Amino acid sequence: MADPEKTLQPIVERIYDVVVEPRRLEELCDVWMQHLEMAGECAARYGLLGEPNLIAHIERVEVALEQLMAAGSAGAWSRTLPHTWADSIRSAAFIAAPDGVIVAANDAARAALGVEAGRTIDDLPIEAADLNVLRTRLVAQRTNGSANGGGNGAKNGHSEVQTLLRLRLRSQQVPILVQIIGGAGGGASYTGLVTTILKWPPELSGVLQNAFDLTSAEASVLKDLAFGFSVKDIAATSGRSDSTVRTHVRILLAKTQTNSQIELIRLTLGLMEGYQPSVQNHPALATGDPTGNGNCYETIVLSDGRRLDYLVIGHPRGAPFLLFPSDVGQTRLPAGAEGNLVHRALRMIVPVRAGYGWSSPAPTGLHVHNVAIGDTIELMDRLGIARAPVLTICEDLRLAVEMACCHPTRISAAVAMGALMPAHTPQHFQRMTKWSRFIIANARYAPRTLPFIALALFGLARRLGPKKFFETLYGASPSDTLHLANPEILDAIVKGSEVTLRPGFTAHIAFAAEAVANFNGDWTGRIRDCPVPVILFNGHQDTVSPIETVREYAEAFPHVITLHDYPDYGQILYPAWPEIADAIERYAAR
């Protein structure tokens, strides 16, 4: 029988690669799908993706990804004083001036790296070769920052340029990750450096001693290893011999049941993360346009005390319809389409679902579809909307159909752009792109992996910027690539995605929960029994929702589905807006 750890080693290696370079997410997808294809029709072998050792790796990497993405937001939004910037970051962080002098450092940097204001980067305990790389990158970052007006980036935070390096501490096998952020701390010439080294909480030593039956000496060695010190370093600073420290390391491996020093350190870093102050992902910002993107949110407090934001776009007194904006948050239409809403006297209501934007997370233990439907019904009641059609994007057709089946008097029709239909046969999966198969396979067989995958996907979006990211996502469709070149369409996609990705926040938890809900089980029966008309608008060049599968469902359920298909379009169907708006208008109550 194959060793699961060895079988999954190629996946594990690429999981760590993704932290350093999000562009390598596609390599992870490829090797992951290769493993699934080898499993064939044996669903039991898919369960290997939920194997505890793999999940442990994913949990540790999530720590690094969340730290680095949070650090990027600190670079974008905390440009006041150097010390304020450094202290706002949870891991070891400091700011360097153009001459390499340290301007400010937080407690974690002082404790782990010996960094102090007034010293220089030459004093860092980094390998000489890596220190040269760091100097070169700092010069390049300062040059880019000056050229870009101090590296302030765009308001929406998508286009800020950041650099991520993998560096080695002296005589240390395990690398650290360092993010370089231009213009940090209020100075155009300053450079912020954020590492994946966490501050050691004072109470953690005692916790480790109790949890693994460690002596105080063993706990001290474990702490030093986590901070990147080698056996020789630990021996020199503690007055013990190399052999004594190595004995401590062997005992630590045995007591923690880890297989290598690297695994031991990763375990410790994960525990360190558990003792860090929590980050508030949903600040209580005032209703309005908090980021300057033109998204003016309105807010209600739901009956259970949670916050729900929503957008109102179009004619203020027009006939209402709902927009379910997909799990990537396409909450806005191109300017021309939104202007057309006013002309048609239509009012579009966009609920920002639980866990997205500034809306509160979904209550623990409840199915996300039930939460979304209940929240939408409550919002409709508050706004005095008795019945309305729903416009859906991609996979959100499933949510609209479910809502229609549960509350047939509240929805008059489901008008779907690029709808993703149920996938339950080998042919359905063979027609899909590898990205779709990748997400669906993990949603069904390894749901715990999805928050990491979503986080890596959003990390890629930050690094590439919106245009390149969506070109990567839709690159297989010539039509979608062409339409992304339209500034009006790209602007709508970027504005809308604010509820999914913005400085200081990603909706990866909500995204993962929705993927599990959307892609588990066969909901063909719900379409067959849907009590309202389903009007589909799909493009032949859609790489997410294959037109052959869409046609199968339209032919199977002609009493429910009306299909409008477009040979020259893909997933992006905004150019067909006049026909889509006609369908909405037909079912909107005046």
Q: Write the single-letter amino acid at 349.
A: I
Cα gap 514→531, rounded to integer Å: 23
What are 576's two structure tokens? 């067909």
H helix intervals, 349-419 = 368-383, 397-406
Q: Write the single-letter amino acid at 571.
A: Q
Cα gap 425→427, rounded to integer Å: 5
Q: What is the pLDDT of residue 155?
A: 37
Max Cα–Cα distance, the chain, nearest Å: 84
Which run of H or E residues covers position 241?
none
Helix axes 25-39, 450-464, angle to 10 degrees: 150
What are 104's two structure tokens? 């400010």
Residue 201 contacts residue 215 (beta carbons within 8 Å):
no
What are 202's two structure tokens? 């004072």
What are 419's two structure tokens? 């709808």
pLDDT digit string (tens) for the chain, length 590 residues: 444 555 666 776 677 666 666 667 777 777 777 766 655 444 445 555 556 666 666 666 666 566 555 555 544 434 457 888 888 777 788 988 888 889 999 888 888 788 888 999 888 888 888 888 888 877 776 666 544 444 333 333 333 345 667 777 775 555 677 878 877 766 677 888 888 776 677 677 887 888 788 998 998 888 888 766 778 878 887 888 999 999 999 999 888 877 777 677 767 766 665 555 444 444 455 578 888 888 999 999 999 999 999 999 999 999 999 999 998 889 999 999 999 999 999 999 999 999 999 999 999 889 999 999 999 999 999 999 999 999 999 999 999 999 999 999 999 999 999 999 998 888 888 888 877 888 887 787 778 778 878 887 887 777 777 777 877 777 778 999 899 889 999 999 989 989 998 877 888 889 989 998 998 888 999 999 999 999 999 999 998 899 999 999 999 999 999 999 999 999 999 999 999 999 999 999 76
DSSP for residue 192: E
Q: Report how far Cα 207 is from the mean position of its chain's Cα atoms.
A: 31
Cα gap 399→216, rounded to integer Å: 54
Residue 527's alpha-carbon distances to 113, 165, 412, 522, in angstroms, are 59, 49, 15, 10
What are 10's two structure tokens? 């190629």
Given the DSSP bridges, would you call strands 534-539 and 561-566 parallel, antiparallel or unpaired?
A: parallel
CA 387, 393, 399, 404 dihedral sign is positive
Q: What does 300-361 look like in DSSP terms, one character per residue?
A: EE-TTS-EEEEEEEE-TTSEEEEEE-TTTT-----HHHHHHHHHHTEEEEEEE-TTSTTSPP
Q: What does 441-504 look like in DSSP terms, one character per residue?
A: HHHHH-GGGHHHHHHHHHHHHHHH-HHHHHHHHHTT-HHHHHHHTSHHHHHHHHHHGGGTEETT
pTM of the model: 0.67
Q: What does 28-82 look like in DSSP terms, one character per residue?
A: HHHHHHHHHHHHTT-HHHHGGGG-HHHHHHHHHHHHHHHHHHHHHHHHHH--S-H
Number of C-alpha atoms within 13 angstroms, CB side, residue 391?
29
